[in-house]
Amino acid sequence: MNFWPRRRAKALKAIFRMATALCVVAGLIMAPDTTAMSYAARQAAIDVDVGVQGITFITDLAAAGGTAAGSVNLSWTEPLHQGTTPPYSYVVHVSSTGEISNRNAFNSAQPLSAFSSSTVPTPGAGGGQAAFTVTGLMPGVDYCFAIEEQDSSSPSPRNGGWVREGPWNPQNCAVATTPIATPSGLAAKGGLNESFVSWQALTSTQTGYSNLAYYDLYRSTTSGANFVSIATTTAISYTNYPLVPFTTYYYEVSAVTTGNSQSALSAQVFALPFTELPMEPAGLSVVPSSITASISWSPVTRFEDGSVFFSTASPSVNELEGYQISRSTQACAPDFVFLSSQTVAQTTFSDTTNGNPYYYQIKSYNSLGVSTATLSISSLGAEDYFLSDCISQVVLTRDQAQSLRGTANNLGGDVVISRSFRPQDISKNNPNIINSVQFVPLLNGVTPIPGFAFSTPVQIIVHYNTDVNGNPIPSAISPDGSSDTNLGMYWYDGSQYVKMYGTVDAFNQTVTVQSPNLGLYQVREQARSTNGPVFDISNISGRIITPNGDGKNDVFIMTYDPGPNDVTPTGRIYDLRGDYVSDMTPGLVPNTITWNGMMHGVPVTSGVYVYQIKGGGKTFNGTIVVAK
């Protein structure tokens, strides 16, 4: 049997394998000798193995700053092997002066051992992901890396399987991670049962080009010792709440990267939180009977400055500890007698009155002390909102007080009437102002309510002082003398002061008006009649009305001085022919008389009309224009 063709084909196959391996090592892919292959094919039909031999290229080497100081993370895809001889090893060269972009640069670069003692991993089977961290580098220095894999055959690069003459990955450089800096600018400020702590953000350079994971805040009540972590946050501030007021708290902060590299702790700072009295209870209500008075109120959830408790459902003792109930026979007196203490959860109290008239004050209290209680509520449900002089006040009936309760007013919360004197309004530039006070409706004791008004007029009482001669002070006393009979009330409607006159009580030194409006009220010196009512054209709301129901200038209003006899005048409207049109009616605000532009319930036509007001033997005439 002739074996020559078989032996010849086997020899050609071996020659082809050697040529392919050499071509891969050189980084080139060459076609096999087609002439030889054709010749072998003509000799015999054989199956020739033309698989590539050697180690494939590493083309995806990537470098990035590590998490630890002076570190760089390297990663790549494991090369594939065929026709090579294990064991395998990696050779890593490093440059800190430029990229390694070709064979000459690789040969010129130094081995990894010249920069780091990190151990290069052993190559795997190929195809998987490989990575390791180079440590011990100079932080902040830019390093470039290149890597080759070799097998255990001849040490010659051309014959031993070294592979790195192919593509050179340009993204093989990285800055060695710098140590993460300690956060600076730490500051702390005490607040209402809390501390506000802040610091400056670290830049990417300060984090060593690693991603910041969070800041770690530490706290202690001992300077320089016993610090414990209380919060981790990516923000640069933190509110530490709730705290024990008037206790010194110390703080330090550090920074942590995504690789759990943590900076040193900052220098410590301290803060001293404080607390305030709770807001006085609101939403008071009384259910009277012949022998008892059952009082209820809304839970207090705020401090007196309006700040909401940290826990409104279960406040701490530094926020709210309970309620105190006191009783007196006077609406505003220093002799209120303590009756009972209630827990935070108890917002009702029943007292036995046996039909006697009493006034009650409900106060809240916490670890700092007891709240104010300038509101007195009677056993019949009337409410008196006093100023500090215990005379100036707003007086509400039980029905009017319903407007202040969140359960009845459709405002979404209780209304608290803030009361204050305005001494800044009294000056040499305003010599006729005797006293100035302000009553402001506040939703939940915090937010002013524009346009708030009661459905019926409430009583506004403002006190004034007198000198030894009985003259109101401060006052611009005229040459012919001045007395409290020349006093009256003004109300500021948001754009101007409206003269409301009022009733003067010389004995109690008060001026009282009935008004549905809260706001700014002033006792002023003004001309008052001593023998009857006064009708003043300056007190007309407007000479032109447009009764179209838009709420603007729909009604003609005349404000008058009822005089010492408290006269209530009457009024009529006539057309220019003298024919009767309509009666005028008392306004919502006392000491006013009005006409709504109607005749028998139907709007009148446009034109000029005559009003005639009579009272106390006096008659006051004038004209008004109806426009549409």
Q: What is the pLDDT of residues 475-513, one digit of tens each?
A: 444 434 456 778 889 999 888 888 888 888 888 999 999
pLDDT over threshold 90, residue 248: yes
Q: What is the mean predicted confidence (pLDDT) over 165-192?
A: 78
The pLDDT of residue 160 is 32
Secondary structure element (H or E) that encloses residue 233, with its range: strand 228-233
- Beta partners for residue 568, in sequence order: none
Amino acid at position 305, single letter? D
The Cα–Cα gap between 242 and 250 comes to 15
pTM tops 0.75? no
Q: Which CATH superfamily is domain 187-271 in?
A: Immunoglobulins (2.60.40.10)
The Cα–Cα gap between 246 and 146 comes to 62
- Beta partners for residue 279, in sequence order: none
Architecture of domain 285-381 in this structure: Sandwich (2.60)
The pLDDT of residue 6 is 38
The pLDDT of residue 618 is 86
The Cα–Cα gap between 319 and 298 comes to 16
The pLDDT of residue 547 is 87
Ranges of each domain in the chain: 4-43, 54-175, 187-271, 285-381, 382-528, 534-626
pLDDT by residue (tens digit) across 13-41?
333 333 323 222 223 233 334 333 333 33
The Cα–Cα gap between 136 and 170 comes to 23
Architecture of domain 534-626 in this structure: Sandwich (2.60)
Token pair in block for residue 418: 């803030």
The Cα–Cα gap between 586 and 593 comes to 4
Task: Find the range with the poorest average confidence among 63-72, 152-161, 279-288.
Answer: 152-161
Instruction: Fill in the DSSP letter of residue 486.
Output: G
Higher pLDDT, 580 or 43: 580
The pLDDT of residue 517 is 93
CATH of domain 54-175: 2.60.40.10
Whether the domain at 187-271 and the domain at 382-528 fall into the same CATH topology: no
pLDDT by residue (tens digit) across 387-435?
999 999 999 999 999 999 999 998 999 999 999 999 999 887 777 899 9
pLDDT over threshold 90, residue 266: yes
Q: Which fold has domain 382-528?
A: Chondroitinase Ac; Chain A, domain 3 (2.60.220)
Of the chain, the percentage scoring pLDDT greater than 70 comes to 86
Task: Find the range with the poorest average confidence among 257-261, 380-384, 424-428.
Answer: 257-261
